[in-house]
Amino acid sequence: MKFYPIHMHMHCSHEQSASIGSHMSYAAGLGIRHLWTTEHDTRMGKKKKAVPVFYFPKKELFVTLENGAQIGFKEDEGNSGRYTFEETEEGISLRLSAASDQRESLFFYSQGKLHSDPLFSRLTVEMNADMVAPFDENGRVIVEFILSAQPPTYTQAKLCYVTGPLPRGGVNVQYLPFPEKTNGVYRFPLYQDASEKIGGLDNALCNIRLVVEKGAKMVFRTFAFHRELEFEAVRQEQIKLAEKLGKKWGVTPFVGFEISGAGNHKNCYSTKVPVIDYAAFDYKVSNEQAVAHVKKHGGIFSWNHPLWKSAAQFPEKTDEEIVADFAETLIKERVYGATLIEVGFPYGRDGFGSAEAYLRLWDKLSENGVFITGDGDSDNHDAVADGWTEGNNFCTFAGLLKNEAPTEESFVNAFRRGSVWAGNPVKIRELSFGTGDKPMGSVLVGEKADIRFSSSGIKSDGYAVCVINGERSQRIDVKDGKFSGECTLYCDKKYNFARLEVYDADGILIAFSNPIYLVANEKDIPPEAVDNKRS
């Protein structure tokens, strides 16, 4: 069996500090040739509190609109506060001016990134504004659209429209002449204007900066945001773009999505499943409806960060009590039919400071006959170190049979049968755990199972721990970057399991295997695990 590393939960095209190209460049540098993007589906179409037009309902820079959206401007550091509000028949406007030797700027943003969209949704921004006389010949106005992080510097790209002579462009910066005013507005077709030099369509609009320099003045009234594509049509454009960038970086992309508006977050790991059109359902989609949607189209999904927000929701409970409560629900619902559960968080998540809570939750499922594949991922929203070289930068290593090519179908089959281990690709690249020709994920019937395990190419000192029925039974030291050993799993209970954990010298989890399961009678095998029975 050959194991392929896959980064499984990557946010690319809706983030200010990420992009498809940025993630792919990191993957290529680590020798990872497969990547699964899973954008928040709620960001792929019209948002519940959409902001098609920003205006000033009152004379304040940052405001709350009628639909509850919080949006507006803040001053950049160093401003002298040379702005005033005016009220006319057209509404409230903002006058921004700079002295002859000054530069004034305001930074536009929104809570929850409500104005942000990927350029491949065919995004255009219109600005209702005026340039105000006197206009010094040295003065200029810049409207700076701040986009996504791009290699090689991983700084945010900037598409800048400038009055007067164009400055010289820098890394990830593009300057264009200010457009002519048409029908009372300045129109900025971002999806057409962004060049490949700054990432082209592999960008999202993140923020906007208004700049006036050296005597320049402008009166700003509104921004209008126009996107032509919604939901599944947006994902289809992302698929085209990811395939194009994959050829450049030598990485095969699979473009799924994270179901973010229907109960607990769930990653759909099937490219044939369309994105849910939340607007068509008035943003009222239940967890059960979302699960049915994935199943209807023949897809699989993961149960994401299963202790999500739990520490904040239950401050009066201990971590162990929270884990027990979540386990009870997931056991009762059999994880709602999920194929995978995210448990690979070496630095913890959701207020839990270590990986132990997630691994313990997973063990409780196994102890109660819920045999589900554990996977590891970074849930990475940033093309920076955390998620690629440090922090929760786990990826999933999917084991394929000798006759299987590394395709989406083959990886999904590996997820289903549990032939998966997860780990930090910077610190470990090989892990074996199984009995004879029966790999991890196998369900065995009998009195005992003798299991062998090994690893090599470990890039840090540390140790491995064999976990039997949730208890850490033995420790094996890593020597010269490798270790090997064996353990015996006895059929002491109705459901029995063994798995492996690997830690570095600081006690930080760097890898774990999926379990070998053992039952006394074939009738005790959970229905969803019957296909994983090995004689």
Which parts of 210-355 fold into alpha helices (H)? 232-249, 287-296, 310-313, 319-333
Q: List, for residues 143-200, the tens digit of each pLDDT value.
A: 999 999 999 899 999 999 999 888 887 899 999 999 999 999 999 999 999 999 999 9
DSSP state of 339: S
**Per the structure block, which two tokens stand in for 163?**
């009055």
Q: 55-59, 313-317, 434-438: lowest mean pLDDT where?
A: 313-317
Rounded-to-integer distance, Cα 183 and Cα 26, Å: 45
- The string of pLDDT tens digits covering residues 304-316 is 999 987 777 888 8
Distance of CA 470 to the CA centre of its chain: 30
CA-based nearest residue to 7, from 499, 442, 371, 344: 344
**Is residue 278 pLDDT above 80, yes or no?**
yes
How far, in Å, CA of 320 to CA of 344, rounded? 18
Contact 487, 468 (CB under 8 A): yes
Alpha-carbon 162 to chain mean position: 34
Number of helical H runs and strand E runs in the chain = 8, 35
Distance in angstroms (rounded) separating the CA atoms of residues 155 and 382: 11
Assigned CATH for 1-46+236-303+333-426: 3.20.20.140
Q: Report pLDDT for 133.
A: 59
In this structure, of 56-65, 369-378, 382-391, the range with the lowest mean pLDDT score is 382-391
Give the pLDDT confidence score for residue 503 in this predicted structure: 97
Question: What distance in Å separates the CA atoms of residue 20 and residue 383, rounded to the nearest whole number?
Answer: 9
**Cα–Cα distance between 222 and 135 in angstroms, integer?**
22
428-529 has which CATH code?
Answer: 2.60.40.10
Q: What is the pLDDT of residues 232-263, one digit of tens each?
A: 999 999 999 999 999 999 999 999 999 999 99
**Closest among 206, 73, 78, 186 to 130, alpha carbons compared:** 186
Cα separation values, 183 from 127, 180, 186, Å: 11, 10, 8
Q: Tell me the per-residue pLDDT of 62-121, one tens digit each, with 9 for 90 and over.
A: 999 988 889 999 988 777 778 999 998 889 999 999 888 888 999 999 998 889 999 999
- 465, with CB counted inside 10 A (0-12, 13-18, 19+), is middle
* Contact criterion met (CB below 8 Å) for 462 and 510: yes
* The two structure tokens encoding residue 345: 């968080």
**For the chain, domain boundaries:** 1-46+236-303+333-426, 53-227, 428-529
Residue 138 binned pLDDT confidence (cut-offs 50, 70, 90): confident
Residues 6+ apart with CB under 8 A from 18: 10, 11, 12, 148, 149, 380, 381, 382, 383
Q: Is the pLDDT of residue 135 over 60?
A: no
pLDDT (tens digit, 9 = 90+) per residue, 195-238? 999 999 999 999 999 999 888 899 999 999 999 999 999 999 99
**Average pLDDT, whole number, for the chain?**
93
User: 53-227: what fold?
Assistant: Jelly Rolls (2.60.120)
**Model pLDDT, residue 246:** 97
Number of neighbouring beta carbons within 10 Å of residue 146 = 20
Q: Identify whether the C-beta of residue 227 lies closer than 8 Å to the C-beta of residue 121.
A: yes
- State residue 466's pLDDT score: 97
Percent of the chain with pLDDT over 70: 99
Neighbours of 165 (CB within 10 A): 8
The SS3 call for residue 285 is coil
Tell me the Ramachandran region of residue 234: left when phi exceeds 0, alpha when psi lies from -120 to 50, beta otherwise: alpha
pLDDT at res. 134: 55
Question: Distance between alpha carbon 490 and the CA centroid of its chain, in Å?
Answer: 40
Does the reported pTM lie above 0.95? no
Q: Residue 426 region, left (φ>0) first, then alpha (ψ -120 to 50), else beta?
A: alpha
